Amino acid sequence: MSNDRNAELFERAQRVIPGGVNSPVRAFRAVGGTPRFIARAQGPYMFDAEGRRYIDYIGSWGPMILGHGHPAVLEAVQRAATEGFSFGAPTEREIELAEEIASLVPSIEQVRLVSSGTEAAMSAIRLARGATGRPMLVKFEGCYHGHADALLVKGGSGMATFGHPTSAGVPPEVVQHTLVLEYNNVEQIEEAFRLHGAQIACVILEPIAGNMNFVRAQVPFVKRLRELCTQHGALLAFDEVMTGFRVALGGAQSLYAQLIPGFAPDISVFGKVIGGGMPLAAFGASRAVMGLLAPLGPVYQAGTLSGNPVATACGLATLHEIRRPGFFEALASRTRTLADGLAAAGRDAGVPLVTDCEGGMFGFFFGSELPQHYNAVLATDKERFNRFFHAMLDRGVYLAPALYEAGFVSAAHTAEDIDATLLAARAALACG
């Protein structure tokens, strides 16, 4: 196998695909160098076009909670494929997946299946606006809810700053009703509701932000969000595309419900794990809110491939496996071993390095304390991260190729894989 096969493929890709990739972070622009073109994957490993094996901590950005090629999932997908790829008509398996999601997430009574997290978040916000008759959306800087126009905004440092588009092709008037606040800032959300409470339809939040690495929403912040939304008649939407069935069986909302009596979001958005690696996502809420969707109500949403029979087979098989007793305890323990080991490696090397994790999701920062918001993430040592990324890649460990992305551990990662990763980390940190 050619030793420059990845470079050859990247050059070829750039001739026919913008930037050579179909999703920007894959291009390695943040860290530099040539992206690895993956030929196959199995268990906790990916193999690139040159035949090199990597311990995989991307897991397709979260879905591969069982690892790659899990036998039960593979069998379910192969069986479904023989029955038909797509019908454009309802199937029993759609009902089964919706029932499964609703049974695991108490805040949800009904579910609408879609094909991507972007589609699910966009539809959930439209539903919230339809339910309240209000225009305004509140989001938080550093949280990513897909690439719908109204969500491609960021805020400045000022109080209650209205967003400006951060992508060309998004007219300012499209985001004029999107208010962007600082994550974990209670004072800003209180001010926003004081100024605009009667106009706010929805507050959307990643309960553990995975697109500024790994940053938790603090309990007092979530509690106050819930109180303000209830008080002002706005809907609280939890974007659990990453965290859903990844940090806990009931999603991140189940963790907050243990700490905040009676807590539940009004709308939940899921993706990644519920598709098991296939294009599948969902949004759900109470029967009253979901009843506003077409064909029952005035809020329109549709999709040719929604509830795809092969994707639902993959998702159902995945959910059945992660429901097994002890699954999340074992996954969380393995992830904690990795996170604690990375922190210890940093201490021993005299390198400021902090880590955090929940369930099968983790993050690390080159800094002295865990960031609580996006600007704090920006202040961490990006250059050291980039050097560390490449040193780990050279040693056969595939981390997210950007400082701003969380990492994922699967049930297929063994204690030996974690040990090998930590050995590589110690060597990488010793190199500077």
Angle at 12 between CA 10 and CA 14, to 5 degrees: 70
Identify the DSSP state of 278.
B
Are the C-beta atoms of residues 57 and 408 closer than 8 Å to each other? yes
**Strand ranges for 95-199 from DSSP E:** 110-114, 136-140, 153-154, 161-162, 164-165, 178-181
What single-letter amino acid sits at 204? I
Which tokens hold the place of 239?
A: 């974007």
Q: Residue 73: phi, psi to the nearest 5?
A: -70, -45
* 276: nearest Cα among 240, 320, 239: 320
What is the 3-state secondary structure of 374-405?
Answer: HHHHHCCCHHHHHHHHHHHHHCCEECCCCCCC
Q: Residue 174: phi, psi to the nearest 5?
A: -70, -30
**Active site residue ranges:** 144, 239, 272
Identify the DSSP state of 271.
-
Q: How far is CA 157 from CA 26, 141, 161, 371, 376, in A?
A: 29, 10, 8, 16, 12
Which tokens hold the place of 325?
A: 């007793």
d(CA 155, CA 193): 16
Beta bridge partners of 154: 164
* 111: nearest Cα among 103, 121, 101: 101
C-alpha neighbours within 13 Å on the C-beta side of residue 164: 3
Q: Which helix (H) or strand (E) holds 80?
A: helix 71-83
Beta bridge partners of 365: 354
Which tokens hold the place of 138?
A: 């509140």
Is the four-CA dihedral 1, 53, 208, 348 of positive or negative sign? Answer: negative
3-state secondary structure of 46: strand
